[in-house]
Copies of this chain bind each other. A is one copy, B any other.
């Protein structure tokens, strides 16, 4: 079953350029190395400055579990910590159809 993820990330307003730069690199690694990842797109709120939403799709739970365990994803933890303005909100959703 496809799994969807919506990750809401609030970034410090003076760190958004730094965040967008490293997240773009991270996204490239995910797309290049994870065949079970069907979509991984950073987006930016049109109404709330500093608020980003990552839209993610995985072909199944195994693909999502693999994603979280990759070296590049774990290595990004310190970079996230330097730019986040609050705790990320991650919602997991069950694919239908």
Contact = CB atoms under 8 A, between A and B. Distances in A.
Interface of A: 2, 4, 6, 20, 23-24, 27, 38-39, 41-46, 52-53, 55, 57, 92-97
A4 B55 contact: yes
Tallying the copies of this chain within the complex gives 2
B97 A23 contact: yes
A30 to B, nearest CB: 11
A51 B25 CA distance: 33
A53 B42 CA distance: 17
Given A39-B39, A55-B55, A96 B20 contact: yes
9 contacts: A2-B41, A4-B41, A4-B53, A38-B41, A42-B95, A43-B95, A43-B96, A44-B96, A55-B55
